[in-house]
Amino acid sequence: MHNAVGSPPRQRRAPSSVPSAGTGLCTGHHGELLQGSFAHAERGLITLPVQEISSRACFTPTTGDRALTVVPRQRAKARDAALQALAALGRADLGGVLEIRSTIPVGKGFGSSSCDIVATIRAVHDALGRELTPELTAAIASRVESASDPLMYNGSTVLFAQREGRVVRTLPCLPPLWVLGCDSAPPDGRVLTELMALPAYTGEELRTFEGLLRDMVRALERRDVDLIGEVATQSAVINSRYLPNPLLGPAQEVSGACAAAGVQVAHSGTLVGLLFADAPDVRGRAAEAARLLRPFGARRFRLHRVR
């Protein structure tokens, strides 16, 4: 995981009027640690990045034909991102084939569409040998999606205004921790973010979010996983009033029984996670947590190490 905000260093080709195939990779996230409304971001979030899931895009441009085909064809947002990236580079004359290969389930809260989009924008720039900044990527992504995740910042911890495509505040990096993820829905159960109504937070909730942000900054500065877990749990509870998750209550109980730091959820998905500090017995406690959660309908467990 990269600590500095920005794209990872890579060897770049010189810009050319004769483009060749380009590739782009983007890793996913495990839902939100904190999401709400803040003084400098009407809608803002802090995501929990994980490296084991990703989208890879390959863009093969063609000249003389503006048709752009995407494989698989249902990746319409990735196609839109490719077209917008080409236009931003002054190469709207190009078409081509965009192929997306992803290990990220759709509609669960892992940031699947944002991953596809970021990987695509990177592939288009790679094909044309052009420099790319995370700010440009965020600008294109926010135009393509109604709300984008900050995956273009490569695991940096940021408060991100997801509907504006901008970093509100760069935060200290996350300390080492683990998240036991599971799904609260069957395989075909998913949340369509673009169809969700925006939460109408109460005045009390708005004040709580400001306090949670201060607590999160303090937790990151102190590398305090327990406090990170407390913030994530409170954020999950507030947002469950707008998108209920049937596993939240059981996950809170199991969290206490297994000495987890707290619970985090995908605020626009079906994903639930238990946060654990990095410790020698973490795998055993995570296995016990999974055993306790299964009777409540939890599915598809996976333990991720963050950082």
For residue 4, is pLDDT > 70?
no
Query: What pLDDT, on the 0 to 100 scale, is given for residue 197?
Result: 73
More confident residue, 8 or 264: 264
Q: What is the pLDDT of residues 261-304, one digit of tens each?
A: 999 998 877 899 999 999 999 999 999 999 999 999 999 999 99
Q: Which fold has domain 22-169?
A: Ribosomal Protein S5; domain 2 (3.30.230)
Sequence spans of domains, the chain: 22-169, 172-306
Query: What pLDDT, on the 0 to 100 scale, is given for residue 97?
Result: 97
Q: What is the pLDDT of residues 157-181, one digit of tens each?
A: 999 999 999 999 999 999 999 999 9
Q: What is the pLDDT of residues 233-247, one digit of tens each?
A: 999 999 999 988 999
For residue 258, is pLDDT > 70?
yes
Query: What pLDDT, on the 0 to 100 scale, is given for residue 190?
Result: 53
Residue 184 · residue 272 · CB < 8 Å:
yes
Q: Which amino acid is at 184?
A: S
Instruction: Give the pLDDT band of residue 72 (cuts 50, 70, 90).
Output: very high
More confident residue, 77 or 12: 77
For residue 9, is pLDDT > 50?
no
Q: What is the pLDDT of residues 181-220, one digit of tens each?
A: 999 876 555 554 555 678 899 999 999 999 999 999 999 9
Residue 32 · residue 216 · CB < 8 Å:
no
Residue 183 · residue 302 · CB < 8 Å:
no
Closest CA to 38 of 195, 174, 175, 216: 216
Instruction: Say if domain 172-306 classifies as CATH 3.30.70.890.
Output: yes
